[in-house]
């Protein structure tokens, strides 16, 4: 489990494509002693297992399913990636609960400056869009953000100066593709509301489930 707070921007050292997926090597600036073989790490929001370590270079094996369902397949040597170690119990939850299981690949459709901030409009897949709600949480390439103005499969996120400084999202332009993970709490709400009725969340539903 992760929080969507990026700890480091790593660099792809090498990437080998095979029939079973990818073999990925990433140079990481995090303290090497805090990372052990078998640890989980989010790489651009995708939960991967540390399979090897050589100094500051971490190795990951990416399955064919993960390769097909995320933007990791489009990475190349020298590209930057967001890195986050798994959340430790007792640690601060600065973003929101992120599993590292991607719901779909979205595409930036518009970028606009608004003062010191940058707004990105993103076109999501139908699967990811089903869980987006105004002011809800979403992880974009592993970065915890707030959903603004969801309309159908399109929604907007605002990148504040800190996010622009600490992540790669500020360099994204129209046409770029991003990993999207919707809020896991929204997934559970939708699942159980769908199982018990028509999927509509209204005042009656909230009363019956103890929210009002």
Q: What is the value of pTM for the model shown? A: 0.86
- Check residue 196 and give its pLDDT: 46
- Check residue 69 and give its pLDDT: 93
Measured between alpha carbons, how far is 37 from 52 in angstroms, rounded to an integer?
Answer: 6
Domains and CATH numbers, the chain: 8-85 (2.40.30.20), 104-191 (2.40.30.20)
- Check residue 207 and give its pLDDT: 67
- Check residue 88 and give its pLDDT: 78
Measured between alpha carbons, how far is 70 from 53 in angstroms, rounded to an integer?
Answer: 23
Q: What is the mean pLDDT of each run of 10 residues along the chain (212 residues)?
A: 95 90 94 90 97 95 92 95 89 82 96 96 93 93 95 96 97 97 84 58 63 63
- Check residue 120 and give its pLDDT: 98
């Amino acid at each position: 489990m992760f929080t969507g707070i990026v700890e480091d921007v790593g660099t792809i050292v090498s990437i080998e494509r095979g029939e079973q997926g990818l073999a990925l090597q990433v140079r990481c600036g995090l303290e090497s002693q805090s990372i052990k073989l078998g640890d989980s790490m989010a790489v651009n929001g995708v939960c991967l297992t540390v399979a090897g370590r050589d100094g500051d270079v971490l190795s990951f094996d990416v399955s064919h399913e993960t390769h097909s369902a995320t933007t990791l397949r489009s990475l190349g040597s020298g590209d930057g990636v967001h890195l986050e170690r798994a959340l430790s119990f007792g640690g601060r939850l600065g973003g929101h609960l992120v599993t590292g299981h991607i719901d779909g690949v979205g595409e930036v459709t518009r970028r606009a400056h608004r003062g010191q901030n940058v707004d990105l409009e993103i076109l999501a897949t139908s699967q990811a869009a089903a869980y987006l709600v105004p002011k809800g949480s979403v992880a974009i390439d592993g970065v915890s953000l707030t959903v603004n103005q969801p309309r159908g499969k399109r929604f907007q996120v605002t990148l504040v100066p800190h996010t622009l400084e600490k992540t790669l999202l500020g360099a994204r332009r129209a046409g770029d593709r991003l990993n999207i993970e919707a809020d896991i709490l929204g997934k559970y709400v939708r699942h159980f509301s769908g199982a018990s009725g028509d999927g509509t969340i209204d005042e009656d539903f909230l009363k019956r489930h103890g929210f009002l």
